[in-house]
Amino acid sequence: MFDRLSQMEARYDSLSRDMSDPSLVNDQKKFQAIAKEHRDMEPIVEKYRQYRKVADGIADAKAMLADPDLKEMAEEELATLQPQVEPIEEELKVLLLPKDPNDDKNIIIELRAGTGGDEAALFVAEMFRLYLRFAEQHKWKVQVMSESESGIGNGLKDVTAIFEGDKVYQQMKYESGVHRVQRVPATETQGRVHTSAITVAVLPEAEEVDVKIEAKDLRIDTFCSSGPGGQSVNTTYSAIRITHLPTNTVVSCQDEKSQIKNREKAMRVLRSRLYEVEAERIHQIQAKDRKSQVGTGDRSEKIRTYNFPQNRLTDHRIGLTNHNLNMVMEGQLQPTVDALIAHDIAEKMKGEPVNA
């Protein structure tokens, strides 16, 4: 491990020198690539340097033990430094774990009402509001791509949006799957608890280099944007529907008044969906790894239950239960996300990689 860390430190120092090269100003693409690699290595190198500082201090203190005048001071130094070694080593092991290449990517998130009719549609709207508040906490930018209102209250049959910002996929990838809600609907006169479900899909946004799409494989249709009940929002054909013929994947966008902007957004979603198809194919090949996942890819898996009468949230993948559902619905999702990330790391430390 330490040979690898030493090599990383040398590479980090080399990148630092490269970033100070004035000629890089004219090559922004190269500069950004170097800056990203440098930024990714920084926490590892800093932790390694902290380890070396402690190790050097221990070595110096041990050398002082032979001097009667310095022995007491050396023992105090050792008592302070030696307990620090193991925790730093553990942190270094975590930092050196293989990283998900998608963690830094933006996401396309899709929420759809499942079983439960109007109650499921209401929960789609509530979960989307939860995610919007979570995005605000992280200062992410959110663009709504499309949404279909249910006609009942503020319910949504489905909604698709782009979340952009720092490490969005790393934080949101564990949300993919079936979310089950248990509560008494407003229309229930007998006070019975009903169970409904929605599906959430979190797709890492694919770049053009990740997915090659041929123009001949696309059918692009335009239509007028519509609102609740199907009424026309405007009379221009600004809404876009793109069909990827080989896979019969259909993407629509009508959020923008500009046809060009709607097309750009729709292509972003299409690339991400096709990227997911390829990722799913790889996951199927790596069946053993899929069994050890905490459920970051399978939409059919029931991942979480929201029990409103008992104010209880249960994440079935890691056996997490808490009784502050009201706070979670206000966007306080971070403790749940942190628990899922910690579980993921623990599985990787055991040599059972958890791939998203």
Those residues whose C-beta lies under 8 Å from the C-beta of residue 98, and which sit 6 or more positions away, are 348, 353
| Six-digit token string for 343 | 């579980």
pLDDT for 354 equals 38
Name 163's bridge partners: 107, 142
| pLDDT tier, 100 (very low <50, low <70, confident <90, very high otherwise) | confident
Least confident residue range of 35-39, 109-113, 293-297: 293-297
The string of pLDDT tens digits covering residues 20-51 is 888 887 888 888 888 888 988 999 999 999 99
Domains contained in the chain, CATH given = 2-95 (1.20.58), 107-205+292-349 (3.30.70.1660), 215-282 (3.30.160.20)
Those residues whose C-beta lies under 8 Å from the C-beta of residue 92, and which sit 6 or more positions away, are 1, 5, 44, 47, 48, 51
Query: Which H or E element spans position 242?
Result: strand 239-244
> Average pLDDT over the chain, rounded to whole?
84
CA distance 77 to 59: 10
CA distance 284 to 273: 17
| pLDDT tier, 82 (very low <50, low <70, confident <90, very high otherwise) | very high
Name 218's bridge partners: 244
Q: Average pLDDT in the 282-306 region? A: 58
Asked if residue 181 lies in contact with residue 123, where contact means CB atoms within 8 angstroms, the answer is yes
| pLDDT tier, 236 (very low <50, low <70, confident <90, very high otherwise) | low
pLDDT for 300 equals 56
Residue 205 vs residue 85, higher pLDDT: 85
Phi, psi of 249 (to 5 degrees): -85, 130
CA distance 273 to 206: 8
Least confident residue range of 23-37, 210-224, 279-293, 316-330: 279-293
DSSP 189: S
Residue 214 has pLDDT above 90, yes or no: no
* E-assigned strand segments in 36-115: 107-113
Residue 151 vs residue 2, higher pLDDT: 2
pLDDT for 331 equals 95
| Six-digit token string for 299 | 């939409």
Coil/strand/helix, residue 123: helix
Q: Average pLDDT in the 222-241 region? A: 62
Asked if residue 274 lies in contact with residue 206, where contact means CB atoms within 8 angstroms, the answer is yes
Q: How far is CA 179 from CA 26, 37, 53, 192, 304, in A?
A: 49, 36, 48, 20, 5
Residue 188 has pLDDT above 80, yes or no: no
Q: Average pLDDT in the 118-134 region? A: 94
* Cβ density class 133-168: b for 16+ within 10 Å, e for less: ebbeeeebebbebbbbbbeeeebbbbbbbbbeeeeb
pLDDT for 229 equals 45
Q: Average pLDDT in the 270-281 region? A: 79
